[in-house]
Amino acid sequence: MITPLDYVKITCLIDRADILQLDADIRLVKMQGNIAITRGNPRELAILSTEIQTLRNKISEYRSVPNPRLVEAVRKLQIHVLKYNASVNSFLSNNNIKVSPFVANISSLAGHNIIQGNIGVPCGN
């Protein structure tokens, strides 16, 4: 049986991956801003800016359509929780566990809705 601490560790890792993607996008936006004010070969700067935008688009796409393997992993995690608890939400509530909106969304895609009361700012984020 998974312990509440292990559940939190797993969901925090999932949440951390989303936060790192958002952080990467923010850094790419700053890079684009720096390129816009940089002197240099306009053609090379345009190519670099286009490449950065391509990376931003990939990050945005990944964040809007989560990886099916991630959804499946969360589905299996929630199924495991259900073996020992009446519901995922009761497990979360009974153990004072909050999951991030991102994890709640992935869980919903996996067929296990998380109620609003169990969604919050976990993991010290």
Percent of the chain with pLDDT over 90: 82
Read off the pLDDT of residues 35-89 as tens digits, 9 standing for 90 and up: 989 898 999 999 999 999 999 999 998 888 888 999 999 999 999 999 999 999 9
Q: How many Å separate Cα 76 from the centre of its chain?
A: 17
Q: How confident is the model at residue 122 (pLDDT cuts 50, 70, 90)?
A: confident
Q: How many Å separate Cα 27 from the centre of its chain?
A: 17
Q: Which DSSP category does 118 fall into?
A: G
CB contact burial 4-23 (16+ within 10 A = b; e otherwise): eeebbeebbebbeebeebee
Helix 4-36 and helix 68-84: axis angle, to 10°?
Answer: 160
pLDDT at res. 64: 84
Model confidence, pTM = 0.83
Q: How confident is the model at residue 125 (pLDDT cuts 50, 70, 90)?
A: low
CA distance 115 to 121: 14
Q: How confident is the model at residue 15 (pLDDT cuts 50, 70, 90)?
A: very high
pLDDT at res. 65: 86
Q: How confident is the model at residue 29 (pLDDT cuts 50, 70, 90)?
A: very high
pLDDT at res. 121: 84
Q: How confident is the model at residue 124 (pLDDT cuts 50, 70, 90)?
A: low
Distances in Å between the Cα of 38 and the Cα atoms of 41, 48, 50, 115 are 9, 12, 15, 48
